[in-house]
A and B are shown apart, each in its own frame.
Chain A
Amino acid sequence: TQLLEQSPQFLSIQEGENLTVYCNSSSVFSSLQWYRQEPGEGPVLLVTVVTGGEVKKLKRLTFQFGDARKDSSLHITAAQPGDTGLYLCAGASNFNKFYFGSGTKLNVKP
Chain B
Amino acid sequence: NAGVMQNPRHLVRRRGQEARLRCSPMKGHSHVYWYRQLPEEGLKFMVYLQKENIIDESGMPKERFSAEFPKEGPSILRIQQVVRGDSAAYFCASSPMRGSYNEQFFGPGTRLTVL
| Chain A positions near chain B (C-beta within 8 angstroms) | 30-31, 33, 35, 40-45, 48, 50, 88, 90, 92, 95-103, 105
Q: At the interface, yes or no: B42 with Cβ under 8 Å from chain A?
A: yes
Distance between A7 CB and nearest chain B CB, rounded to angstroms = 13
Q: Considering the chains assembled together, what is the distance between the CA atoms of A48 and B91 in angstroms?
A: 20
Q: Which label, helix, strand, loop or mixed, suits the secondary structure of the B interface?
A: strand
Which B residues have a C-beta under 8 Å from some C-beta of A? 4, 6, 31, 33, 35, 40-45, 48, 55-56, 91, 93, 95, 97, 100-109, 111
Given contacts A96-B31, A97-B56, contact A45 B42 (CB under 8 A): no
- Pick the residue among B93, B95, B101 that contacts A50 (CB under 8 A): B101
Q: Which residues of A contact B6 (CB under 8 A)?
A: 42
